[in-house]
A = this chain, B = another copy of it.
Amino acid sequence: MAGNTIGKMFCVTTFGESHGKALGCIVDGVPPGLKLCSKDLQNDLNRRRPGTSRYTTQRCELDQIEILSGVFNGITTGTSIGLIVNNTDQRSQDYKEIQNLFRPGHADYTYEKKYGIRDYRGGGRASARETVMRVAAGAIAKKYLKNQYGIIIRAYLSAIGHIKCTFESWEEVNKNPFFCPNLRKIEDIQELIKQLKKIGDSIGAEITIVAENIPVGLGEPVFDRIDADLAHALMSINAVKGVEIGDGFLVVNQKGSQNRDEITPYGFKSNHCGGILGGISNGENIVLKAAFKPTSSIRIPGKTIDINNKKSEIIVKGRHDPCVGIRAVPITEAMVAIVVMDHILRFRAQCEKAMKNTELPQILYNVPSRTGCDLLPQTIARLSKFKNIIGIKEATGDLSRINQIKKIVKNNFLLISGDDATALDFIQLGGQGVISVTANIAAKEMATMCSYALQGDFVNARIINERLSLLHEALFIEPNPIPIKWLAKEMGLIKNDTLRLPMTPISSAGQIQLKKALQHAKF
């Protein structure tokens, strides 16, 4: 009955008022075995934290989270996790003046009428300060989803007032205090907020949330469709007045032939539906938008009444965000993470088999240099018994493996080399091809070479391979894909060779060796 819990399998229950002693939360249903410490939660809490820039409220809360239970020796035990954050910078005197007034646009009036009593300090339970615990719980969900399924949930400011912030890059989002994905808009936003602060007004905002690597199958029709649960979760955030999935309200003026996402053997051709069909995730990115109203806590006088129904006027002092939408970015991420987490567990509960099964053919990858673990022939033999496991990419470079594996796997099991330097030998010894790095810049040559080899013409295969041999080598002088990305850009094949840490830009020695290899290959 009570409304302070969200989720059926992953249950988040919160307490706490804006100027009360503390905010707290119980997160129930966290799978055991997840590494978890307060730092995992603190990062997102810091992104939501007030007082970190002059564009948000100046209330200064450290929002230091403490894990009270459910974690033992740094690992979740499957029992309920208790979380707490103490309030430290309340200034309740700011609210004394308005304790008997209803601030227009606020929950003062409705809380008073519903409960007959209310904590007027900073809005009490109706304050967005309550969302601290949503972010903390969401951080647990985010970590589990990322570790277990590679799911990434991120949001950005897509509009503030009349300023549209077209998406440019996720990297920009956390580099500015507005979570704006487009650095060229920052100055406009700064100027807008400066003007608003001057006149004591506020502004609305739109946030876009994207969830990547979502498995197909999340959502429980007919009422607990994942889109319905996401709409519920986002609309439950303070100040949200609209939620869209995929094309949202644009669909009103779309034809069926425009709106439907056609399907190919390689996936959907478009994503108008925002990753959800019939209330179930379809494997595409889930894309959502939420509209945040401008806060009503402004200095411009407004007409209102007091608790005795007498006319009055109000000027809201205190420390307020000129745009509550900005700090809401991590809150939206948290709410989406909580819903996705809940639905992952619900899916597992009912459709465990479906979750484990896929009819798509799979190829094992044995790349010990990357995984730190060698897939030995005996293991490969056992895995090869699964119908949909159809082959292996062998990247050890150990040519003795071919015959060791061949002897003990099923007949039509594919043996594919994962090492360019030994690929030709691999085919000659009975392999069927190569998943190649060199082919990224020499697709035709690698294909021709393999083609000769598979036809048994090793003379012509070796002629081509010799030309490519320095490339096979040079492309691994620094960790893959550092060399290949640099070379592809040099050759004009790609525009951007940006690398993510721990990858670092290529050395000049590396560049020289790659150029030499390219010359040798006679491109």
Contacts and interface: CB of A to CB of B under 8 A. Distances in A.
Q: Output the residue of A251, A255, A280 with the most chain B CB within 10 A.
A: A251
B243 A231 contact: yes
A357 B116 contact: yes
A489 interface: no
Interface stretch (A73-81, A170-178, A343-351): A343-351
Interface stretch (A102-110, A368-376, A469-477): A102-110
Copies of this chain in its oligomeric complex = 2
A115 B235 contact: no
A217 B110 contact: yes
Contacts of A265: 305, 309-311
A253 interface: yes
Contacts of A310: 265
A37 to B, nearest CB: 26
- Of A223, A246, A357, most buried by chain B (CB within 10 Å of CB) is A223
A292 B248 CA distance: 9
Given A110-B277, A236-B222, A204 B253 contact: yes
A1 B220 contact: yes
A162 to B, nearest CB: 5
B216 A225 contact: no
Given A241-B274, A302-B257, A354-B116, A311 B264 contact: yes
B346 A1 contact: yes
A44 to B, nearest CB: 18
Contacts of A203: 253-256
Interface in A414-446: none
Given A3-B346, A116-B353, A273-B293, 8 more contacts: A1-B220, A106-B277, A109-B216, A110-B282, A203-B253, A203-B255, A242-B245, A242-B248
